[in-house]
Homo-oligomer: A and B are copies of this chain.
Amino acid sequence: MITQSVDAPAGSKSEQAYAAIKEKILAGKYTPGYRLVLAKIADDLGFSVVPVREAIRRLEAESYVTFERNVGATVAGIDPTEYLYTMQTLSIVEGAATALSAPRIMPADVARARAVNERMRECLGHFDPVQFTALNLEFHSILFENCPNPHILDLVHRGWNRLQALRSSTFSYVPGRAQQSVAEHEALLALIEGGAGPDDVEHTARAHRTATLDAYLTHTNHPTQH
């Protein structure tokens, strides 16, 4: 028997609420500091407060929102330090995921990744941050998606999500970094094609992200961490 109606969003209401709120945060409709009032959100969605509350606690566990007892939830803060921490963490887990993934990457995958990178190169002229970011994620996804360890993969996905949330609301791009990024992508692909060892792949992948972080720190004159 078919229990799932065709047009209903999948899952329970708490899951729908989770997805809806998360999407609004990532889309920048709920900006950081925005007060998430249970009753209001419940009313907007047409649900009661219980599933909404559950969704918010889940978002809290994933650090999308901060929660204070008897006060409520607000969209999580996004100071530059947070960006630094997120990028640093992502550089580590993504580097590892890419290295673990590398032996399973087929020539066809490399070709796809290269095609994406070429589209990024074409973007450089009429620069569109949103499109460039989307292509960047697509490129790296091809490189790390074959990672056989689901825990690491999960950490990578969380890092990208968090990064997207931070970027959409606060940070702009560092001039000149995009071109460098495209070149580093090509170098990374060459390395994988050449059958480089996992240590080399990991080091290069991590360095790629670290370079982005450094560019940001230099650009914004952020106090270097100790």
Interface set of A (CB-CB < 8 Å, partner B): 11-12, 14, 50, 53-54, 57-58, 61-62, 69, 85-86, 88-89, 92-93, 96, 103-104, 148-152, 155, 225-226
Contacts and interface: CB of A to CB of B under 8 A. Distances in A.
Nearest to A226: B148
B69 A11 contact: yes
Contacts of A103: 226
A26 B88 CA distance: 30
Say whether chain A's binding surface is mostly helix, strand, loop, or mixed: helix
Contact of A89 (B14, B53, B151, B225): B151
Contacts of A148: 225-226
Contacts of A86: 151
Contacts of A96: 92
B85 A226 contact: no
A196 to B, nearest CB: 17
Nearest to A11: B69
A181 B85 CA distance: 31
Contact of A58 (B11, B58, B85, B151): B58
Contacts of A12: 69
